[in-house]
Amino acid sequence: MNRLDELKKLESVLENFFERFAEQESERIETLGSIDSLDEIARDSLKGRHINNRLSNWIVQNRTLIENKRLGKSAFSAVGNLLSEIRTGFDETDPEAQKLAREIDNWRRDGLIGGRKLVLTRGPEIRQPEMAGEYLETLRKEAELLGFYIEEGRHILSILDDVLKSAAVKIDQMYFHLAASIIFYLKTAGYKTEPYVRRLKELEQRKIGVTDAD
Partner 1 sequence: MLTKEEKAYYQAIKALKEKNYTAASGFFRIAEKQFADREDFRILCETAGLLLAVKDEIYNLENEEIETGVG
How far apart (Å, rounded) are the C-alpha atoms in residues 71 and 173? Answer: 31
The residue among 1 and 4 lying less far from partner 1, judged by its C-beta, is 4
Q: What dihedral angle (degrees, nearest 10) is formed by the CA atoms of 149, 153, 158, 162?
A: -20
**Binding status of residue 54 toward partner 1 by CB under 8 A:** no
**Binding status of residue 78 toward partner 1 by CB under 8 A:** yes
CA atoms within 13 A on the CB side of 100: 25
What's the closest the beta carbon of residue 211 comes to partner 1, in angstroms?
27
Task: Give the distance, in angstroms, between the CA of residue 41 and the centroid of all CA atoms in the same chain.
Answer: 7
**Binding status of residue 49 toward partner 1 by CB under 8 A:** no
- Type and span of the H or E element at 206: helix 194-213
Residues 144-173 interacting with partner 1 (rule: CB under 8 A): 144
Contact in structure between 42 and 82 (CB atoms under 8 Å): yes
The residue among 33 and 209 lying less far from partner 1, judged by its C-beta, is 33
Interface contacts to partner 1, rule CB under 8 A: 3-4, 7-8, 10-11, 14-15, 17-19, 21-22, 25, 29, 32-33, 35-36, 39, 42-43, 46, 78, 82, 85, 144
